[in-house]
Structure 1
Amino acid sequence: MSERLIDADGVRLCTESFGDRADPPVLLIMGTGASMLWWEEGFCRMLAEGGRFVIRYDHRDTGRSATYEPGRPGYTGADLVEDAVGVLDAYEIPAAHLVGVSAGGAFAQLVALNHADRVLSLTLISTSPAVPGDRELPPPAEEFMGCVSSARVDWSQAASVIDHLVDYARVLAGVRRAFDETATRDLVRRDVERANDFTALRNHDVLPDGEQSREPLSSISAPTLVIHGTADPMFPLGHGEALAREIPAARLLPVEDAGHGVDRADWKTIVHAILAQTRR
């Protein structure tokens, strides 16, 4: 295991791999505003020990990847989708199993629509349909909207940013689970300290979509597993149910009382599901 800086179509991205290159490749795609550290090392090692070659990476403006002037990202959401393909290119991987959480799940859907030949399977966690459609989706929970609307953070002060991100993680964890503040604060602190410029995280909040696929989700041919917490406050369970309905032959795995993201309490369940999905 070691970090590796790659060139993805002229953009520097920081990546890290686990396991044997001879094993089936799994690319982990995190949501916006979060570096690859949120795919925690223990989780990555569990997948690697299950016989998978696992790659995680920092999005632009997170971790040690390229950073841009705060408020002027100079790239789009579509560019973040193409970055995932750029990581595969840098590792000389023709096709991989994609695992995405939150916005990373949306990016994985778009890779499957735009670059079907690069996707062996999809595992979509805590996410929502990435393309428009004739559907009614449940709104975020009140506690999530309250956290977003009332957030007060001084982006010039690391301590204020850490407090803000811990509070946000607490809300995402949902109301049905105990929140491990000590572990979360340690992860957030390491994330902020490791970043080239933690103030650049704000760029993900003002990112334009760019040119995205207009193909329906029914065009996705990759075998798809949808994993969704029953207490997700950002994307309630109906979002995962919509994905499972619209993507051909997709399977839905509800995780009881789980919130938004990959909680340590669910690692065994999620890893087992990913290993089974990537054997297909």
Structure 2
Amino acid sequence: MKLVRYGAKGQERPGILDGEGAVHDLSGHLSDIDGGCLTTKGLAALRAIDPASLPLVEGTPQQDLRLGACVGSVGKFLAVGLNYADHAAEAGMDVPAEPILFTKWTSCIAGPDDDLALPPDSAATDWEVELGIVIGDGGRDIALDRAADHIAGYCVINDISERDWQLRRGGTWDKGKGYDGFGPIGPWLVTADEVANAAALRLWLEVDGHRFQDGTTATMVFGPAEIVSYASRFTTLMPGDVIATGTPPGVGMGQKPPVYLRRGQVMRLGIDGLGQQTQKVV
């Protein structure tokens, strides 16, 4: 299934994408695409619904029908740093022996095609296309061999990062990762049963038509199951929590000289089978 949230900001409604790419309204069955419907039991109930039996939503998604973040009421937005060996190399950092975990504040979450407003003091705002994990059944201290069963699905994330505040202004990475709008999620949540191999997906990002990132999740240091198991050692993962899994090389910081976002530019990014995002920088 491909699950979506559509409508104006703050008024999103739950929906499901049919085989022709049209959205059907799910609000007669649930109030939102969130942790309440993303457990094993909740997803089974959604699979029993024939999309053709649901009201058709007028408009074409991502054209004249706005999509919000594909998960609502996110409790935790975790992320993994330096999780691609080739990205660690371009950053001049060692490949980590264990996953580097940090948080993106949930107030940064945005729709996949919403404009990105640069912070007033931004000097080095960067892009990072990433595979997102959405937790289904929650848990703590999840064994590695069971971790995949706790993944409801996958999505596209742009882990937008202000590098000055992340790396050079003291404190933790979180300051540079959590500005409003720095976490576009979607366009849709693709349930795990429709993703044959999350460790072999092509992902890419362009700025004004120039392709900066073109990689594959096959070069991740830690795969999705490892990340879920590891993160659950430190926090109880809850249904609807989101984890960004790291980015391949080609970020602005890694260019020689570095290249950062400017107002008026447009980012396009995507992951095979999971959809695309477009953000204008304003």
TM norm structure 1? 0.30
More strand by share: 2
More relative contact order in 1 or in 2 (CA 8 Å, sep 6+)?
2
